[in-house]
Structure 1
Amino acid sequence: MAQNNLARNIAEEPKTYVSSPEQTPDEVATKQVHVATKLQISPFEKLLIVSGSVILTVLMLLVVSSKIALSNAQHQLQHVDTQIVNVRNDNTNLNQQIGELQSSSRLEKVAKQGNMSLKNANIRNVTK
């Protein structure tokens, strides 16, 4: 509780005591109590405040630019992923077409149109 009263005393204006008729003006001036005085900021403290503010501003800008770069990288990654999916779909479609074109029924049909015949002795299976 004593600390609360101390805070109130500091916030108050300087007090002057009532002088008695026997006191001189010099004695009255020495009895004035100045509780709260404003401290001056030294040049070093000003330099610290300014440099701290500059560093803080630079760090904030760095964070914002990093977020923008991250967002752009994610956008590019999404674009590349979309291209990969499209190429895989194209490859699947082309593999399906290759399977259809290599089917034995189709090959026999093309052979009949070209007046060719199929001899099992001439067939070889080649794998990679």
Structure 2
Amino acid sequence: MADLALRFGGDLAVGATGDLLLADGEALTQQRVLRRVLTNPGDYIWQLDYGAGLAQFIGQPGAPAAIAGVARAQMQLERAVAALPAPIVNVTAGDDGTVVLSLNYTNAVSEQTSVLTFTL
């Protein structure tokens, strides 16, 4: 089932015909995963325990293991992500303080493996 295309922190997108752009398949799953790991617990008023709140780790020294643990726990709660094989979360911290999060997961519907990598 399609949903509105909305990249976390962005605006609704307009399609080629001027209608609101829809996301489905892997694009929708990526959208859901990003929303889950970047939403702060308590911010989603319909489900107060939703979200990993990874922004809480900005400026925290030596937090890659904690980031990975929180992200992994939230990935296991996302219904768009297959439980088996379990999602793999890799966090690397650069010398400049940049943190790169790589989420390797299997789409629960298509059963395709995907990797979503972004900088916190």
TM-score range, shorter chain: under 0.3
Q: TM-score, normalised by structure 1?
A: 0.16
Rg comparison, structure with higher value: 1
Q: TM-score, normalised by structure 2?
A: 0.17
Higher strand share: 2
